[in-house]
Structure 1
Amino acid sequence: MSAEQGLNDAAKKTARVFFALWPDEALREELHKVSGLLHAAHGGRRMNPATVHLTLLFVGSLERERLPELLAVAAGIQSPSFDVVFDQADCWRHNRIAFLGARQPPAGLFDLVGALERQVDQAGIGFDRRPYKPHITLVRNADCKKTAPALKPIVWAARDFVLMESNSNANGASYKELARWPLL
């Protein structure tokens, strides 16, 4: 067996997964327009509109045999729907990401993230334990020395959440929806 084949076999045994809010087509188009404005201000590389999302909880690499556990955990989440107003364009110098943020994220967003963290933790599944900072990445390799433009607020009506699998390829990342759950 070649080293490359061994790596491919190992990759098939695990999935790189995360929970997210996924935009509908109208919101995706709106976010793509904003990415154009951020790109004009900061340069860099615009995100593929098909991959733009709001991460809730990044699990990372998980054995595929454990996916049913993760699906069951998410199915047990009972959280109300909410709206997030993204009203702040900004740029992080440390990783050169231009993004949209929310000056006043709703409690419902943090409640959903907290419920996911607690349930995933209780299931004994590891995840990225950084403090949650809601943002939508729109441009990578941005020149953050420039001032972000003022933008019209965008309202994201969160009515469901998804579990996504991330796969890397020559063109960047591609995502596959594994499951979707409604918010109440």
Structure 2
Amino acid sequence: MTNETVVAASPARLFFALWLPPAVAQKLHRQAGGIVGKSGGRLMREESLHLTLAFLGDVPERRLPELHRLAASLSLPRVPVRLDRLGFWRHNHIVWAGCGEAAPDLSALAAALQKALVAAGFLDGERAVTPHVTLLRKAAHPGELPALPAQEWSAGELVLARSWRTDRGSTYEPIARWPLH
């Protein structure tokens, strides 16, 4: 995929994220597969596991070139990511992998990105980011979750992705990528 990829003519539900390296995604997906047996729910597809930095919602196609230019103009740093904890959010029935300790570099990256998106009118305001990767949706309470062996990597690219809903849940597709420096 190139940075010039254009999506469908209708507004697209877009978000910026860090995509997981394949080896990390595989390990987390395998761990989530062991949880789904006792909690039910829908296992997220391995190739779509990501950590959202900014959810934009519906963006008209005519604004996509502007969004691509904005992302290309940003000089955002590579950040270390460490996922070492599993959790469950009862209010939205999600089992997730996240950070056991504060992740200041990751939070600063999300804040810098969101600040630029607010200034360009793509977001109404900055939102606090709770760094996590959704592993299961529509899960019942899984009870005590197993320990998560730490998954660490250096995030080297910013991904613009599109989401859409199907009868089998949400689907995510990366549509453009930019390096983090």
* Alignment partner, residue 114 of structure 1: 111
- Structure 1 residue matching 2:9: 3-state secondary structure: helix
RMSD: 1.9
- Structure 2 residue matching 1:27: 3-state secondary structure: helix
* Alignment partner, residue 8 of structure 1: none
Label 1:55 to 1:12 Cα distance change in 2 as closer, same or farther (>3 A).
same
Q: Name stretches of at least 5 consecutive residues in structure 1 with no aligned partner.
A: 1-10
For normalisation by structure 2, the TM-score amounts to 0.87
Task: State the distance in 2 between where 1:90 and 1:177 align.
Answer: 26
Is 1:67 aligned with 2:40?
no
* Alignment partner, residue 154 of structure 1: 151
**Higher mean Cα deviation, 72-81 or 14-23?**
72-81
* Alignment partner, residue 85 of structure 1: 82
For normalisation by structure 1, the TM-score amounts to 0.86
Identity %: 38
Task: State the distance in 2 between where 1:37 and 1:129 align.
Answer: 35
Q: Do the aligned residues in 1 keep the contact of 2:163 with 2:170 (CA within 8 Å)?
A: yes
Q: Which amino acid aligns with 1:18?
A: F
- Structure 1 residue matching 2:28: 3-state secondary structure: helix
Is 1:37 aligned with 2:22?
no
**Which of the two has greater helix per residue?**
1
Q: Name stretches of at least 5 consecutive residues in structure 2 with no aligned partner.
A: 1-7
Superposed displacement of residue 24, structure 1: 2.5
Off by >6 Å, runs of 4+ in structure 1: none
Residue deviations 1:50-74 (CA, integer Å, cap 9, x gap): 2211111000001110111111111
Task: State the distance in 2 between where 1:174 and 1:44 align.
Answer: 16
How many corresponding residue pairs? 174
